[in-house]
A and B are shown apart, each in its own frame.
Chain A
Amino acid sequence: NAGVTQTPKFRILKIGQSMTLQCTQDMNHNYMYWYRQDPGMGLKLIYYSVGAGITDKGEVPNGYNVSRSTTEDFPLRLELAAPSQTSVYFCASSYSPRTGNGYTFGSGTRLTVV
């Protein structure tokens, strides 16, 4: 059981480049989330999805886009990368925020924009 898999683990982008952070879960979770975590800081919600075909903005959506065409996959797209997007990105999934099993997080993607 792989849980939540994120790729790549590390990436260096130049300013203005674009990339897609991949996230896949094999637990048949309806809910999926993207967070960013700046050094020494908490988690900021970028986008989330309550099921295939449904996405919603979180606290810091500007500069990002998402799609949810399947239950398993929730890719995060960065267009025109900026230094302010240097961060660690975590994908997470859950059956529901109300269940007792909590969120399962991926191991993260460490992104540097130079």
Chain B
Amino acid sequence: GQQVMQIPQYQHVQEGEDFTTYCNSSTTLSNIQWYKQRPGGHPVFLIQLVKSGEVKKQKRLTFQFGEAKKNSSLHITATQTTDVGTYFCAGLEQGGSQGNLIFGKGTKLSVKP
């Protein structure tokens, strides 16, 4: 079945450093979504990418969808302590009959002040 792999599992950065998490699917995706979960909280939807090669920005966050629609990345510029949490990608298989996204295992980001 479809698998979504996410790396790294953990990332520790100094405040001000950049951070990137990568998401790879075993199959071509119809779309990919990104979520953030703060410690002790619930996942919150950040963004959806649909088009091949698409790039979207939200302030210091940059999201990319690969040309082959099988991979994606989230890049945070100049991390802040408010960026702490776990970032999940979730993909919908192209042409699949499933009614649900497949989530990656997440990247846990810690930021040292």
Q: Please list the residues of chain A having a beta carbon within 8 angstroms of any beta carbon in chain B.
A: 31, 33, 40-43, 45, 48, 50, 56, 58, 90, 92, 97-108
A45 and B105: CB pair below 8 A?
Answer: no
- Distance from A35 Cβ to chain B, minimum over Cβ atoms (Å): 8
| In the complex, chain A residues whose CB is within 8 Å of the CB of B99 | 31, 48, 50, 56, 97
Chain B residues whose C-beta falls within 8 Å of the C-beta of A41 in the assembled complex: 105
* A-B CB pair tally, cutoff 8 Å: 57
Stretch of B18-26, B44-52, B57-65, B76-84 contacting A (4+ beta carbons < 8 Å) = B44-52
Chain A residues within an 8 Å CB radius of B98? 97
Q: A100 and B43 in contact (CB under 8 A), knowing A31-B100, A48-B100?
A: no
CB <8 Å contact, B105 and A101 = no
B68 within 8 A of A: no
- Flag if B103 contacts A100 (CB, 8 Å): no
**Complex contact B88–A106 (CB within 8 A):** no
State A41–B46 Cα separation when bound (angstroms): 20
Q: Using a Cβ–Cβ cut-off of 8 Å, how many residues does chain B contribute to the interface with A?
A: 25
Considering the complex, give the chain B residue whose CB is closest to the CB of A42: B105
B33 and A42 contacting across the interface, CB-CB below 8 Å: no
Q: Is B92 an interface residue (CB 8 A)?
A: yes
Chain B residues numbered 13-56 whose CB sits less than 8 Å from any CB in chain A: 30-31, 33, 35, 41-48, 50
- Once the chains are docked, how many angstroms separate the CA of A90 from the CA of B47? 20
Residue of B nearest to A92 (CB): B43
- In the bound complex, CA of A35 to CA of B98 (Å): 16
Interchain CB contact under 8 A, B100 and A97: yes
Bound CA–CA A35/B101 (angstroms): 12
Q: Are B42 and A107 in contact (CB under 8 A)?
A: yes
Judging by beta carbons under 8 Å apart, are A105 and B50 in contact? no
